[in-house]
Amino acid sequence: MIIGVPKEIKNNENRVAVTPSGVVEFTKRGHEVYIQTTAGDGSGFTDDQYTEAGAKILPTIAEVYDIAEMIIKVKEPIEPEYKLCKKDQLIFTYFHFASHEPLTKAMIDSGAVCLAYETVESSDRSLPLLIPMSEVAGRMSVQEGAKYLEKPLKGRGILLGGVPGVRPAKVMILGGGVVGTNAAKMAAGMGADVTILDLNLQRLRYLDDVMPANVNTFMSSEYNIRELIATHDLIIGAVLIPGAKAPNLITKDMLKDMQPGTVLVDVAVDQGGCIETCKPTTHQDPTYIIEDVVHYCVANMPGAVPYTSTLALTNATLPYALQLANKGWKQACNDSNELKLGLNVISGEIVYKGVSEAFDMPYTPVEKFL
Ligand SMILES: NC(=O)c1ccc[n+]([C@@H]2O[C@H](COP(=O)([O-])OP(=O)(O)OC[C@H]3O[C@@H](n4cnc5c(N)ncnc54)[C@H](O)[C@@H]3O)[C@@H](O)[C@H]2O)c1
């Protein structure tokens, strides 16, 4: 198969969808890989490394879209790319269609086959192509929180791990899923006093078993949250209710009960946030202050560490991309229910219920195309 990897053109997106190591895996199976020049620069991969791995470099994005049977990307196509997507071309990337009507209409008009990373789903209902970014964001939330706890950055001026004779910072994590578990590991490793809250008792039992002694688990309830916020220095929002806006677990009136300089990192900002006063920020201007409480609400946290994020993402996507290249999308989706669930739009028709419902557009069962 002919595979095309365009350079990401969304603002501040430095990740790339295939690494030189991925190119080797494709080419040794007989596929051809075309990479747009400098596509890997932001993640530390040069054109020369891609060429040595067996890829061919193309000078423009239009040439990549023009030659490829399968486009592999990171972010959804943005407006200048809409007209480049072709009929019957397979596009494998994050789409997040349900929150983007113009994109959905553009992909319907293109006639392309859109297989979305975010809806590829394993039999245990986990989302294997979302997990790596949650791992990155969870670990980063503690790094960022520790930084903004410093006094010059308007925090309380407390060191996460303390020192002998001085207590460590107290870190509270709302939600013990992928983000929350990774945040807890980092905070505990740095010596902080960590509390994780979740509604799922099974999950709390598991975390209690595997976490070190400086991590405590708590049932999530308004009462417990109100009691804990007054004494915690760093609060991380990491809840998810699939397909719904995150619940406001920390309301505006609670800010006055926090110590001045408390830092809130709301990782769930991309689902509306679990802190009422959360509004999306960028890496250029990541924080704002309300009632002396520092808010960090960057919607694409992994974008700040493209080297790690690219490797984390491609480690997860490559096995699926290889199946698609080796078998073609129809056979690959017939053989793998995980991949089949990733199909969102095919030849001008919406084949994913959530997307058709989001825009009240017609739905076609995917089986029509398989
Ligand atoms: N900002 C970013 O850059 C970024 C990056 C990756 C993920 N995210 C977001 O982070 C959030 C968490 O993702 P995840 O992968 O950890 O999800 P997950 O499904 O693995 O975990 C969510 C957890 O929240 C718990 N939960 C639900 N309601 C709760 C409540 N009321 N109180 C306490 N816990 C509750 C669930 O039981 C679950 O354990 C999502 O909104 C995701 O989109 C953001």
Tell me the domains of the chain and their CATH numbers: 2-120+305-369 (3.40.50.720), 131-304 (3.40.50.720)
- Measuring CA to CA, which residue among 260, 276, 14 is closest to residue 156? 260
In this structure, what DSSP letter does residue 296 have? E
The single residue of 193, 233, 270, 295 carrying the catalytic annotation is 270
Does the active-site annotation cover 266?
no
Atom of ligand 1 nearest to the CA of 301: 3
| Closest residue by Cα to residue 120 from 325, 365, 332, 347 | 332
- CB-CB neighbours of 11 under 10 Å: 11
Q: How far apart are the first and last CA of the chain?
A: 19
Ligand 1 binding pocket includes 301 (Cβ within 6 Å): yes
pLDDT digits over 10-52, tens only? Answer: 878 899 999 999 999 999 999 999 999 999 999 999 999 999 9
Mean pLDDT score of the chain:
96
- What pLDDT score does 242 carry? 73
Contact indicator for 92, 324 with CB cutoff of 8 Å: yes
CB of 200 closer than 6 angstroms to any ligand 1 atom: yes
**Residues with Cβ within 8 Å of residue 310, at least 6 apart in sequence:** 15, 16, 19, 43, 74
pLDDT number for residue 243? 66
Catalytic residue, candidates 41, 47, 66, 96: 96
Q: Burial level of 367, CB count in 10 A (0-12/13-18/19+)?
A: exposed
d(CA 144, CA 137): 10
Minimal CA–CA distance to 15: which of 302, 336, 289? 302
Residue 364 sits at the vertex; the CA angle it makes with 359 and 368, to the nearest 5 degrees, is 160
277 lines ligand 1 (CB under 6 A): no
pLDDT of residue 56: 98
CA 104 vs CA 70, 166, 319: distances in Å: 19, 55, 26
* Residue 333 CB neighbours (<10 A): 24
The answer to whether the annotation marks 299 as part of a ligand binding site is yes
Q: Are 92 and 117 in contact (CB under 8 A)?
A: yes
Say if residues 274 and 248 touch (Cβ distance below 8 Å). yes
- 292 flagged as catalytic: no
Q: Look at the chain and count its residues.
A: 370
Q: Which pairing describes strands 349-350 and 343-346: parallel, antiparallel, or unpaired?
A: antiparallel
Residue 289, judged by CB atoms within 10 A of its CB (0-12, 13-18, 19+), counts as exposed
Confirm whether residue 140 is marked as ligand binding.
Answer: no
Ligand 1 pocket test: pick from 135, 139, 201, 240 the residue with the most ligand atoms within 8 Å of its Cβ.
240
Identify the pLDDT of residue 246.
86
d(CA 271, CA 286): 17
Q: 213 C-alpha to center of ligand 1: Å?
A: 23
Distance CA 236, CA 259 (A): 15
**Is 29 annotated for ligand binding?**
no
Please tell me the distance between residue 158's alpha carbon and the centre of ligand 1 in angstroms: 26
144 lines ligand 1 (CB under 6 A): no
Q: Which residues of the chain have pLDDT under 50?
A: none
Supply the pTM of this predicted model: 0.91
